[in-house]
Structure 1
Amino acid sequence: MVRALSLLFFFFLSLAAAAPAAAQSTARAVTGLGPRLDRAASDPAMRPLKTVIVARGGRVLAERGFRGHSPAESANIKSASKAIVSALVGIAIGKGLLEGPDQKIAPILKADLPETPDPRLNDITIGNLLSMQTGLDRMSGPNYGRWVSSRNWVRFALSQPFVDRPGGEMLYSTASTHLLSAILTRVGRRSTLALARDWLGPVEGFRIGAWEQDPQGIYLGGNQMAMSARSLLAFGELYRNGGKTAEGRQVVPGDWISQSWQHQTNSRFSGDEYGYGWFTRQIGGEQVHFAWGYGGQMLYIVPSLDLTVVMTSEESGPSARNGYRDLLHGLLADIIGAVRAA
């Protein structure tokens, strides 16, 4: 079943990717930025790199597609989609559909709680799901396969043993974001995809293509989402602009942007600060907030420079473990240097 879902996902992904490969190479302003990106991509170690878009203050400075790829084609943004689910949670709170990060999840998901629930399930909050601090065993990494092979992903996630207390250390788990997708589906009375298309629809250029669903039809929170680099840039620009569209319409509450970037915990794998679906670290001498997906799907926001950068990559391996993620951070540092010097 999982294989069938994945094949279906990538069938639709391939259809979306057949979009015209225009704008393979355009650059404006910041002298030498485009060639700098070309040189970086020519490094054999950067072969997985597919696209880069650099924008400052809402204006595209450089856009590149490498080895036949285009910023207009769809890509599986993997866990970078967790930042989008976080945005939907913030909007739901702003609409009064959810109370806030301190709201307990058990009453919302009571139909899928175990028959004899661990009392600690009653302590898990919306905020714990957003910051990966539920205390439940992780459903990422080696456990991911058996989780998505289960008949009910929500129930399976809630049935896992506690390995820490709610609010304890960060336990990176896509199941946490999937529980948020289930919660959004229930309080919004529509699918997460329908909510995203409605609530984020005013953002020019934003579009979600294919997106995998669980056996109950709930869209997979935190993985298997198809978006183009340009669409991811449009979402990043929304956050850079305090939740407002270019026309000034408030789409994501401004205070939610701040909360999403506020330090809640630290990644056990990278040491980066983690908020609500976003990592934070210093790169190129600037504070950078970023969404990060497997293989090197990156959305960077540098508030001090009004800078938004998107990088998409082949899903060729775990980008942190093989060092590729650090190369992408290094490329961002180069971009920051070029922008700062302009």
Structure 2
Amino acid sequence: MPSTTGLPTRRGFLAMTAAAASVAGRPLFAQTATGWGGAVDMARGFDQFHALVISHRGETVLAERVRGPALDRAVNVKSVSKTIVAAVLGAALDRGVAPGVDARLGDVAPSLIPSGADARVRDITLGDLCTMQAGLERTSGSNYGSWVSSRNWVANALSRPMVAAPGSRMLYSTGSVHVLGAALSVASGESLLAMTRDWIGRPLGIEVPAWTRDPQGYYLGGNEMALTPDAMIRFAEMYRRDGAGVLSNGWVRASLSRRTSSPFSGLDYGYGWFLGRSQGAQIALARGYGGQIIGFAPELELSFAITSDPTRPATSGGYFGDLMRLIDREIIPAARMA
């Protein structure tokens, strides 16, 4: 079926990767595409690394699996899911499900707020949740296990103590994005899975498998979604192409503007995207545990997807730092030279 967004079709991607894999046991692009082979060679040195796909000027120029699942398999993208939920928020706002990012939780989904929550919880905005600036104690890191073991994930996240004023600073917390997904479900009457499939997956021509749900049936916002590398590239290309008719131009521009910054990596953060520069080029990254990355550089017409072992950490001072050097030293320079 032809793509309505101008993105490459899934069938074309799979045919391309099958043909690439048939050449001397190594992908064709790693051998013949000027400049791209250096990225593959560097990536092979990372034992957590699984696959790399690069799109340049709207064409997939490299699709390399080093280890791990085949390129046509959906893989757990971990916290890249947060960026997908941010896209669902944009689509919801485009459809009038909520009046804007400044809409308060107490107005959009008051039924989610537990009776014992801090009074300020009502004033947390959808934008605060999306940028993880709710001000509530984090549910990620050492708190993640107890949070997902609780009987009510939304109530547990919203009952935590306020440790910062809402909207004041980033406190990386999957619970905040989970509450956002639940709030959008309440406001729209649709599950997060249905919204993701209908508003993002269908127009991009990608499949979104069902994933984890909490005890109340809300799909986990912010973790555990699965996508193929092809779907990851399509998602990146949607943003790179200013929404590609799937999201409004205004939402894309707002998403790529700084709202806060990460206390861990130092990168700026918009609505779902880490923002920075590489070799002078603006880049936007969706980042997931273990080294899952969707990224793009608008001025270079470049998009890329990286998958890695989802069971091992990838810190800014460790493997994620390695991937940033891969982007900075190989991928961005190759795009400039191509």
**TM-score, normalised relative to structure 1:** 0.88
1:134 maps to 2:130: no
1:190 CA drift (Å) = 1.4
CA distance in 1, matches of 2:146, 2:282: 37
* One-letter code aligned to 1:42: R
| Residue 35 of structure 1, aligned match among 25, 34, 37 | 37
Tell me how many residue pairs correspond in the alignment. 317
In structure 1, the residue matched to 2:258 is 263
CA distance in 2, matches of 1:68, 1:147: 29
CA distance in 2, matches of 1:224, 1:218: 13
User: Which consecutive segments of 4 or more residues in structure 1 shift more than 4 A?
Assistant: none
| Residue 287 of structure 1, aligned match among 282, 287, 290 | 282
In structure 1, the residue matched to 2:94 is 94
**TM-score, normalised relative to structure 2:** 0.89
Q: What SS is found at the alignment partner of 2:277?
A: strand
Q: Please list the CA deviations of residues 194-252 of structure 1 after superposition, one character each: whole Å capped at 9, or x if unmatched.
A: 111111244344221241111111110010111111111111111111111xxxxx111
CA distance in 1, matches of 2:140, 2:68: 31
1:289 CA drift (Å) = 0.6
1:295 CA drift (Å) = 0.6
* 8 A contact 1:28–1:62 mirrored in 2: yes
Q: What SS is found at the alignment partner of 1:77?
A: strand
CA distance in 2, matches of 1:108, 1:68: 42
1:339 maps to 2:338: no
Give the unaligned 5+ runs of structure 2.
1-13, 22-26
In structure 2, the residue matched to 1:10 is none
Q: Please list the CA deviations of residues 15-48 of structure 1 after superposition, one character each: whole Å capped at 9, or x if unmatched.
A: xxxx9984542429984344323311331xx111
Q: 1:201 to 1:321 in 2, by over 3 A?
A: closer
Q: What SS is found at the alignment partner of 2:40?
A: helix
In structure 1, the residue matched to 2:58 is 58
Q: What SS is found at the alignment partner of 1:84?
A: helix
* One-letter code aligned to 2:146: R
CA distance in 1, matches of 2:68, 2:122: 50
What does residue range 1-342 of structure 1 map to in structure 2 within 5 Å?
A: 22=18, 24=21, 25-27=27-29, 31-43=33-45, 46-67=46-67, 69-244=69-244, 250-321=245-316, 323-333=318-328, 334-342=330-338
* One-letter code aligned to 1:38: V
Q: Please list the CA deviations of residues 113-137 of structure 1 after superposition, one character each: whole Å capped at 9, or x if unmatched.
A: 2324322112210110111111100
Q: 1:158 to 1:62 in 2, by over 3 A?
A: same
CA distance in 2, matches of 1:163, 1:254: 34
In structure 2, the residue matched to 1:4 is none
Q: 1:32 to 1:104 in 2, by over 3 A?
A: same
* 8 A contact 1:54–1:307 mirrored in 2: yes
Q: 1:327 to 1:114 in 2, by over 3 A?
A: same
CA distance in 1, matches of 2:337, 2:83: 30
1:144 CA drift (Å) = 0.6
